[in-house]
Structure 1
Amino acid sequence: MLLNTRTWGSGDRIALLVHGIMSDHRTWRRVGPALAERGYRVIAVDLRGHGASGRAAGPEGYTPADYADDLVETLPAGAELALGHSLGGLSLAAAVDRLAPLRAVYVDPAWHLPAGKAGYRPELFTHAKSFTREHIATFNPRWEQQDLDIEMATVRLWDEHAAHGLVGCVGRDLWPAKAGVPSLVALADPSLLVSAENARMLVERGFDVRTVAGAGHTIHRDDFDGFMAALDGWI
């Protein structure tokens, strides 16, 4: 599927941005321009089922392989930088060998969806369709007002079949076997997706791992300055 994209800047270097579940390219409203100021042409996608991109026929069309194939079909290979958040990190890792960026950054990536009562349940995401702006602000007290407005809009556009499409990933080992390309993993503090033990495993597999102190899962919205500082040496 060819994805909808948003571009910032016109630099010689290319940066690719891949958002997380229930979001779209607008989550990068500050990151995109900041990278453009550093000389990048920044291309952000709307994953299938999100934003202005197409929808799959049902949950079976929302697997990591589907997302990865879309990225490869839509985005140029050999970019200077590719960055994926959460589901975007899972999708990017599945496509990184084919996209072959010079560097990759995975932001609190969804490489492990735990099973059980406290694990991954689609209804926890589909319930967000009914959230008010106040609900979103309660869960994300550090977000700017514009990000609350964007989240309201993107969640209502999002195809909730995408949440059910990930059920097959629950409890599976989705951790990358190796970095593939020079890769940074930027983590929330604490990360609910990457434990300290798993962070050590990623280091052993060739990843650089950094934590943004005090930041929640959507690091670039919780602490934009801290997020950009964590990218020092990678952008």
Structure 2
Amino acid sequence: MLNVREWGTGPKTAVLVHGILSDSGCWWRVGPDLASRGYRVVAVDLPGHGRSAPMPDATVERMAQELRLAVPAEVDLAVAHSMGSFIAGAALAPSRFVYVDAPTGAGHRMPAEAWWGTYEKAKSRRTLEALTDKHPGWDVFDREAEAEAAKLFDVETAVALLVASGGRDYTPTRPGLVIRAEGSRFVPEETPGAVTIRGADHHVWYGHHDEFMAAVCEFEEQKNSPANPVDGGEQ
């Protein structure tokens, strides 16, 4: 069973899914904000991340199954970051889906050894000192959350997932709101309906929490069909 963090006891349910190298701690501010809007918020640690056990034979489907078992059956709002988005997309059928700088198109095919080198290096460089130098605009708790997540990150799990999903089309199949970083490497600027957060990097909400939540809340409050994304724009 996956480790989870929860905020709130409201009648609506929100599920938050992190990306590779992070864990549920990345939502330390988003979770309470959604709870204040009437949600019971459940944030997961995916396998090999945070306090959840490694999964050396990880695939999207295996991770999706673990996610389904860890969260409520009925989900009103799902917010998923980066590669967590296609795991959430395979596991959940929320009323509203928010994709945060989520990959689109075919994934890279690389041998396991190359992925190992990439993520061993990324893990070793994700210290509090390095994050402070690289991201001075982040809140101190943002940097602490990412540094702690890196310590707990299991490289073997990530490598298995990436090798198994190499060449897979990451484009979201469920309609929803796309929130992208300015100059995103993963989401083209011309993506229909996408909201761009100016000045944000891949972890869009870090250092831009208010703009991020404004986009999420505007989408959440829409009275039209949940299948229709909000009009695109810049924040």
TM-score (normalizing by structure 2): 0.83
Match of 2:189 among 196, 205, 215: 196
CA deviation vs aligned residue, 1:48-105 (integer Å, no higher than 9, x gap)? 001111112x2xx22222221111111112211011011211211122xxx3211111
Q: Verify the 8 A CA contact 1:111 1:175 in the aligned structure 2.
A: yes
Fraction of identical pairs, as percent: 41
| 2:122 partner letter | A
**TM-score normalized by structure 1?**
0.83
SS of aligned partner of 2:218: coil
Distance 1:63 1:141, change over 3 A: farther
The size of the alignment, in residue pairs, is 214
Which residues in structure 2 correspond to 1:205-216 (within 5 Å)? 208-216=193-201
| Residue 137 (1) aligns with residue 118 (2) | no
1:115–1:170 CA contact under 8 A, matched in 2: yes
* Equivalent position SS for 1:219: coil
Mean alpha-carbon deviation: is it higher for 133-142 or for 36-45? 133-142
Q: Tell me, in whole angstroms, the C-alpha distance in 1 between the residues paired with 2:168 and 2:16.
A: 25
- Which of the residues 176, 179, 182 maps onto 1:186? 179
Counterpart residue identity of residue 187, structure 2: V
Between the aligned partners of 1:222 and 1:169, the Cα distance in structure 2 is 31
Cα offset, 1:5, TM superposition = 0.7
Matches within 5 A, 1:161-172: 161-165=156-160, 166-172=162-168
Aligned counterpart, 1:46: 45
Deviations 1:129-153 (A, max 9, x none): 3223222223323211122122111
Match of 2:90 in 1: 94
SS state of the match for residue 196, structure 1? coil
Q: Could you tell which deviates more after superposition, 133-142 or 65-74?
A: 133-142
Kindly indicate whether residue 149 of structure 2 is the aligned counterpart of residue 154 of structure 1: yes
**Using the alignment, how far apart are the partners of 2:155 and 2:46 within structure 1?**
13
Partner of 2:202, secondary structure, is coil
Q: CA deviation at 1:47?
A: 0.4
Q: 1:134 to 1:81 in 2, by over 3 A?
A: same
Gaps of 5+ in 2: 221-235
Match of 1:4?
3
Distance 1:227 1:10 in 2: 23
Q: Distance in 2 between matches of 1:122 and 1:110?
A: 20
2:231 match: none
Deviation string, structure 1 residues 138-187 (Cα, Å, up to 9, x no partner): 332321112212211110111011331203433432223x42xx511111
Alpha carbons of structure 1 residues 145 and 48: separation in structure 2 relative to 1, 3 Å: same
Report Cα offsets for 1:173-216 as digits up to 9, x if no partner. 2223x42xx5111111111112235x2xxx3xxxx421111210
